[in-house]
Amino acid sequence: MKIGCHVSIADSIDRAVDRASEIGCNTFQIFTRSPRMWKARELSEEEVTAFKEKIGKTEISPVVSHMPYLPNLSSSNPKPYKRSIDTLRLELERCNMLGIPYLVTHLGSHLGKGKVKGQKQIVNAINTAVSGLDKHPMILLENTSGKTNETGSTFIEIGEIIEKVSTDHVGVCFDTCHAYARGYDITNPKGLLDTINEIESNIGMDKIKVVHLNDSKGELGSRMDRHNHIREGNIGEKGFLNFLSSSFKEKPLILETPVDDFRSDKDNVEKAKALYMWANKVV
């Protein structure tokens, strides 16, 4: 059972390991820098060493990094598109420094140019970013909720992107809220089986490396990207019990639940663990 959440890197990036441990995570996700700025503070040698040493002393694995919010790999607007590629390259290099094996990226908006153009831009962005790197973390393409002009809301579409990139080191991050909002009914056995079959046919379940375990404020097929606390949204207890009894249970489960006064990250992680154990009859 690998369950954790997104944790802060405030003060120093190695503090993320401390926070993850305090919450009870055995996997976790971070931003390696501020997610709302193009400019990134350089990582000091001391904090990189401290981060790696702390990870080495724990059983936390894997660590997952997430791309900042500003990049749009689907964009046809030259200046922000170049900055997006540069950011992807920098994040790959930072993950290499920190020994982080997975980098999750949103696929962005094609800005009305159509999904074919959006896919082409993503493929070019990845190919450009990895060019010349001897190694890089696996780039995980996160499924989107299907809002207007979003690229990559179906696993057919994501499969088409993966087929065209120049690196084999690309996989998928499955987001439960996004999938449900797009119309994948993971709350019942038939809907979940249909989802898994679409993934197997177009990507392969082995390419799903991480799951973002989030409840959904939006209804099925609403295309609303609004995360909710575990058991408090439209996926709900029954839906998570169904989901966590499937082959998805074998993947690292990362929570990105709201930051508010309703429930803490620690309590959300505990809820997820309890549901996992209930779904799999773990005593």
State residue 283's pLDDT score: 53
Q: Which residue has the tokens 């046919």?
A: 201
**Closest by Cα among 176, 177, 164, 145 to 246:** 176
Successive 10-residue mean pLDDT values, the chain, 283 residues? 97 98 97 96 97 96 98 97 98 98 98 97 98 96 97 98 97 98 98 98 98 98 98 98 98 96 96 97 71
Q: For residue 139, give the CATH number of its domain.
A: 3.20.20.150
Please state the domain count of the chain.
1
Give the integer Cα–Cα distance in Å for 55 and 48.
11
What crossing angle do the helices spanning 45-56 and 78-98 adopt, rounded to 10°?
60
Q: Which amino acid is at 195?
A: T
State residue 114's pLDDT score: 96
Give the integer Cα–Cα distance in Å for 68 and 21.
24
Q: Judge contact between 48 and 85, C-beta under 8 A.
A: no
State residue 126's pLDDT score: 98
Q: Judge contact between 142 and 122, C-beta under 8 A.
A: no
φ and ψ at 199, to 5 degrees?
Answer: -65, -45
State residue 282's pLDDT score: 73
Between strands 3-6 and 253-255, the pairing is parallel
Q: Please calculate the CA angle 84-34-69 and round it to the nearest 5 degrees.
A: 40
What amino acid positions are annotated as catalytic residues?
36, 66, 69, 106, 142, 175, 178, 212, 225, 227, 256
What is the average pLDDT value for the chain, to the nearest integer? Answer: 97
**Residue numbers of the domain that contains 10:** 3-279
Residues written for the chain: 283
